[in-house]
Amino acid sequence: MSKIDFSHVPVKTGSIYPAPHDAEMAGRASLRLGDAGGLTQFGANLVILEPGAKSSLRHWHEQQDEFVMITKGTCTLIDDDGETEMTVGDCAAFPAGRPNGHHFVNQSDAEARFLVIGTRTPTETGWYSDIDMKIDMNPEGFAFTHKDGTPYSGEDK
Amino acid sequence: MSKIDFSHVPVKTGSIYPAPHDAEMAGRASLRLGDAGGLTQFGANLVILEPGAKSSLRHWHEQQDEFVMITKGTCTLIDDDGETEMTVGDCAAFPAGRPNGHHFVNQSDAEARFLVIGTRTPTETGWYSDIDMKIDMNPEGFAFTHKDGTPYSGEDK
């Protein structure tokens, strides 16, 4: 069956961020729709943000293109250009290697949702714009460190 | 600006299919949103189908994952499993190499739209399920042939 049965897609909550940043992700959930449909080359996730929740820490990817379409409610895109309100049908693109950290924050009083597509690559480094942290990923796993590569302490160095 | 300005995205119509199949694509248009946002690793296109229009000839990809979300109206997904009605928010996934040819047909009396994501790869072969045709793509261009590789004549051999 090519159509995705949402009733069988697990709702993922929580965060892989190290403390104290994991707590910042309260109110965010996601459905891994592409995985549910057997896709491997890109992620296709439906992200659900309760009022006040954010999609991620503000970040950019070295190697992976990212595309977003708002599907419910209103979100605020925050990047180096400032705040941009986005509503249903609005789209945004974040080319790999463009060092403009971005995230989406639900500043409304109702649930918001968006579809996000991101390429999968064997390795990747993601940089967090507002704190002294980066993530390195490879086929064995991932590691958060300070931007100089030393173990992440939970505070900017 | 990461948000995509739809007013600057060209509306693409027409078809690259050889006659007589090009005429089958009447009533279909698309906006190449990912290209407009500077993405290169996957296509992210908004497809607009007038009543009676179809998204493509029924096909499958050897190398490229494909993902669809309906964003307006109602479309009928047609693949080897038959007909599946899909409406706003419904999604479908077509993993690379799964030989289940698919397309979307607007069998309603109102405009329908969907977002389609497809990986970009240096080479690709696409197979058309209902006719004796395939497409081979490489960095230099593309060619339609019969499934045995001979030049496409416009009729099944």
Q: Rounded to whole angstroms, how far apart are CA atoms A148 and A157?
A: 9
Interval B103-125: pLDDT, tens: 999 999 999 999 999 999 999 99
Chain A nearest-CA residue for B121: A41
Cα separations in angstroms, A95 against A7, A50, B74, B96: 32, 27, 31, 23
User: Does B69 contact A98 at a Cβ distance shorter than 8 Å?
Assistant: no
Interval B4-62: pLDDT, tens: 999 999 999 999 999 999 999 999 999 999 999 999 999 999 999 999 999 999 999 99
For residue A94, which of B64, B114, B32, B41 has the smallest C-alpha distance?
B41
For residue B93, pLDDT beyond 90: yes
Tell me the nearest-neighbour CA distance from A70 into chain B, angstroms.
Answer: 10
Degrees (nearest 5) of the Cα angle A23, A27, A30?
105
Interval A60-119: pLDDT, tens: 999 999 999 999 999 999 999 999 999 999 999 999 999 999 999 999 999 999 999 999
Domains located in chain B, CATH noted: 6-124 (2.60.120.10)
ipTM of the complex: 0.97
B4 touches chain A (CB under 8 A): yes
Consecutive H or E run containing B33: helix B33-36
